[in-house]
Amino acid sequence: MSKMIFLVIFVVSVGLSSAQLVQNLKCDPNINLVNNFNVTKFLGKWHVVRRTEKPGHPTECSHLEIVKENDQIHLHDRVVNQNFLEEVKSPATHPAGTAKLSINRVNSNEPTDFWILSTDYEHFTLAYACEDDGPARKVTIWQLGREPSFPTPAMDTLMNQTLSTLLDITTTNLIAVDHSETACRILPDIPAGQNVILPGQCDPNMPVVQNFNVPAFLGEWIGISSYYSANQLGACGRAKYTLSESAVVVENSMVVNQKLEVIRGRAVVNTPDGSARLLVTLEVRPGVFVDSPLWVLATDYTNYAVSYTCLNLPNNQKQVNAWILSRTRQLTNAAQLDVDRVISSEVDLNKRYFIEADQSEQSCFYYPEPVPQQPVVFRGRCDPNIPAMANFNAVAMIGDMLGREIKILVLEMESRILLPTIV
């Protein structure tokens, strides 16, 4: 009886999960695998260079590392999903001397095969899984390398020949995994209620809107979502820009406990080339003014805008703030797609950091400051569904009102009769 070696394998939901090619054949339990597989030589880090595709699941910077600790083998399979590291732990078994690993994935009743079709242990590995599905089979392929790419084209050729001979598949059926610096950059998890502080320094060359059209940008912008800021804990955040003789007047507002809080200031374009790098000066307290850069990364002027600011901190860190703005309380589908493209193009922008703003009618309600001799004007529209009295009897109300009017008239007439006439 062959000795069973137990492995603890950390499996990302997309790393060793099945992304499959369907073929009208059955799985071959006797497919040619590596003879006398040496799991000790297989230890170390392997990059996923190519693999079968699984739509909707990330593969960026996918790699696994096999280590041996206290006679126990562990395999760490990791993937970077939108610049956040993900990994899941699952056990696996390995019959000694074979090239067959069986992984018991989390939330799966059936183990996943991870069989080794070919490897030189030093540069490349070709791994395979197969699952019968009626008359067809579902095949999963992983091309692994000790580096993110293979050192010679001959290795690609060898793996391509192996796939073609054994499975009638070529490497053109696989997708390449992105191992670029941007894809592999890992962002920190930021606890709720804390500023977004990232490693590195601010990028002075971050792309912004060119030939910024200030008049087209004027008007009211509604906050859709933003990074956390202790200065923006209210609801219904708005930014209003109006043009004065020498600068743009800024009016930032939010509703706190049904009271409108407003901070005013000025903004100027802070670059000679007319790009959307603004310098904003706000009066945060009476007589206290604070300058802050504000960059508009993208806008179509009529539907959406993405703005950003960055502050360098000690120890090679930076504090980042970002805002997604709209002319209405909800982005259009087209505007949302444009915003998503902007966010995905900049590592400092990440959906996980954005906090959705509350722009509901209830949260936006506030009591305006009364103005003598002026009507009270509330924000918003009249509510056609406001509760009214049920089973209202208009006749009874009119009769009651007439009765009161007649009574008042009689009293007035009596008072006139009783009052003495002064000559």
Which pLDDT band, with edges at 50, 70 and 90, does 51 fall under? very high
Mapping DSSP to helix (H, G, I), strand (E, B) and coil, where does residue 133 land? strand
Q: Tell me what the mean pLDDT of segment 259-287 comes to.
A: 92
In percent, how much of the chain has pLDDT > 70? 88
Concatenated DSSP letters of 9-75: EE--TTTSS---EEESS---TT----TT--TTTT-EEEEEEEE---TTS--TT-EEEEEEETTEEEE
Write out pLDDT tens, residues 103-118: 777 777 788 888 999 9
Q: 63 — phi, psi (to 5°)?
A: -155, 160
Beta-bridge partner residues of 101: 114
Which has the higher per-residue pLDDT, 398 or 343? 343
The two beta strands, 4-10 and 72-81, are parallel
Beta strand pairing status for 248-256 and 63-69?
unpaired
Give the percent of the chain with pLDDT over 90.
59
User: Please, which pLDDT band fits residue 72 given cuts at 50, 70 and 90?
Assistant: confident
What gap in Å lies between CA 42 and CA 44, rounded to an integer?
Answer: 7
Q: How big, in percent rounded to 5, are the helix, strand and coil portions of the chain?
A: 15, 40, 45
Kindly tell me if the per-residue pLDDT of 259 is higher than 90: yes
Q: Is the pLDDT of residue 336 over 50?
A: yes
Does 412 score more than 90 pLDDT? no
Written as six digits, the tokens of 120 are 């030189």
Lowest pLDDT segment from 40-44, 355-359, 390-394, 399-403 = 399-403
Q: How far apart are CA 322 and CA 310, in angstroms?
A: 9
Q: Across the chain, what does the average pLDDT equal?
A: 86
CA atoms of 324 and 209, how far apart (whole Å): 15
H or E segment and range at residue 395: helix 394-418
Q: What is the pLDDT of residue 10?
A: 37
pLDDT of residue 405: 66
**What's the pLDDT tens digit per position in 211-248?**
999 999 999 999 999 999 988 889 999 999 999 877 89
| β 124-133/136-145 pair status | antiparallel
Closest CA to 144 of 55, 18, 31, 15: 15
The least confident of 284-288, 345-349, 352-356, 411-415 is: 411-415
